[in-house]
Amino acid sequence: MKFTKIYIEITNICNLNCSFCSAPKRKLGSIPLDKFEYILKKIKPYTKTIYLHVKGEPLLYKNLDKLLTLTEQYKFNVRITTNGTLLKDKINILKKHKNIKQLNISLEAEQKKKIILKMFSIHVSNFLKISPLF
């Protein structure tokens, strides 16, 4: 069986606290790189595309560059959904990894909506610079 995409939650930690987002019932944490690689090996026969988001803010992941390098090594296409608050800090890492095919910026993170919208306008030039990758 093949799947169009498989979601992997790399962290359930978030830097926002949106009212519509249910409070985490699980212990907060991020996936260790060796476990992430193990999952990549296991799912390789089943999909070409992984989605690095379920709950949490994926750009908070400490070793994001190494994690994305692993996704390249295993030849996955990557899609990411972010609340956008860390794009300024992480844009150079994201631009390095040509296998990122889609970057969704959620403007529904209502808690900091004004800040996010402001950041969106600040970083729109960066989005345009990387947009040919998507």
Residues that bind ligand SF4 (CB under 6 A): 14, 16-18, 21, 55-57, 83, 109
- Find the residue with minimal CB distance to ligand SF4: 21
The 10 Å CB-count burial string (b at 16+, else e) for 49-71 is ebbbbeebbbbbbeebeebbbbb
| Least distance to ligand SF4, CB of residue 81, Å | 8
| Least distance to ligand SF4, CB of residue 97, Å | 22
| Least distance to ligand SF4, CB of residue 9, Å | 10
Instruction: Decide whether 107 or 124 has the Cβ nearer to ligand SF4.
Output: 107
The H-or-E segment that residue 105 falls in is strand 100-105
Residue 99 in contact with residue 76, Cβ under 8 Å?
A: yes
Instruction: Decide whether 56 or 80 has the Cβ nearer to ligand SF4.
Output: 56
